[in-house]
Amino acid sequence: MAYDFNARDELSDADLLELSKEAENEATPSTIKVMMSEFKVDKIALVSAGFIVFFIVAVILGSFFINVPHIMETDLMGYYAKPFSNYILGADASGRPIFSQLVVGSRNSILIAIGLTAISSTFGVVYGLVSGYYGGYVDLAMQRVYDFMMIIPMLMTIIVIVTIIPNYNAITLTLLLSLFYWMGTSRLIRSSTLAESQKDYVAASKVSGTSNLKIIFREILPNIASLIIVDTTLSFAENIGVETGLSYLGFGLPDGTPSLGTLISNANDPNNITQYWWTWLPAAFEIILLCLAISYVGQVLRRTADASQRRGS
């Protein structure tokens, strides 16, 4: 719509409204909007996202109604109780109900995965931004640290540290794991920051005297936000495997704290794996479903971040 901007006095409120609407339509749609439209097209993604949210809310609310010390007590009457009897999903060798362990275990494992993702992604993003933006010796030094972290046998080191720390709980475990799982994010963010800081708007900001911190966090960060969202979602799916894997090996959450990993470790007993499938199979299926769903949402988000692959508008 051609408009004579010199005749500004004659512009009515209605015209202004229409003009701003038009401008909004012509502008590149915001990331959130693109994501919403992508979810509208891809029904599986919508179902996955709904499933994840419902599941997380359900286990968190559900675990309020479960008395954890009580369900972890040994109960001879429930020795390998079959599913759909007195117990919804049966009980294990100590007569502990599988269903309640599953709910509380899911809550523990998911909350640890969320905490781990939040801490390690934040650290990785800041690390990558600083390393990529400053470049030169700062980058060189930071990349040597990165290289070193990559060659450490992570799983072994974590197991050794877990055995050394005398008292540890879910929080110390999350912090410990966060020390080791930021590298992937930092590498990704560093390379996109490198590309971003070559652009004109960064040069213009530098010339006009904007402080480095402001350029990094107010200007570059928003421009790579969609990438960060994608990476965080995909790390979340991976991080579910981290704590559960450790707990499976027996070096994760302490005894008496249910976790999806400890439930699956019931399968280490050949009797359980063959005869008493209900002691471990539900937890295994749950992890598979949850990881597939989160990862699928991540894939869809990745598609929206890359304009050439979008299916929605």
Of 56 and 221, which has the nearer Cβ to another protein?
56
Total of chain residues touching another protein, rule CB under 8 A: 42
Amino acid at 225: A
Could you say whether residue 136 binds another protein (CB under 8 A)? no
The nearest distance, CB 84 to another protein, in angstroms, is 21
Of 129 and 158, which has the nearer Cβ to another protein?
158
Amino acid at 187: R
Tell me which residue of 176, 48, 188, 174 sits closest to 127, measured CA to CA.
Answer: 188
Could you say whether residue 111 binds another protein (CB under 8 A)? no
For the chain, the helix, strand and coil percentages under 3-state DSSP, each to the nearest 5: 75, 0, 25
Residues 6+ apart with CB under 8 A from 278: 82, 83, 89, 90, 98
- Classify residue 84 as left (phi > 0), alpha (psi -120 to 50) or beta: left
Token pair belonging to 189: 């963010």
Q: How far apart are CA 244 and CA 248, in angstroms?
A: 6
Could you say whether residue 151 binds another protein (CB under 8 A)? yes
Residue range at the interface with another protein (CB under 8 A); choices 94-102, 181-189, 205-213, 235-243: 235-243
Residue range at the interface with another protein (CB under 8 A); choices 75-83, 92-100, 179-187, 243-251: 243-251
Of 195 and 292, which has the nearer Cβ to another protein?
292
Tell me which residue of 307, 294, 303 sits closest to 234, measured CA to CA.
Answer: 294
Residue entry with tokens 């494992």: 109
Binding test (CB under 8 A) with another protein, winner from 46, 284, 302, 312 = 284
Binding test (CB under 8 A) with another protein, winner from 299, 302, 310, 312 = 299
Residues of the shown chain interacting with another protein in the complex, contacts defined by CB under 8 A: 144, 147-148, 150-157, 159-161, 163-164, 237, 240-241, 244-245, 248-249, 251, 264, 267-268, 270, 273-274, 277, 280-281, 284, 287-288, 291-292, 294-296, 299
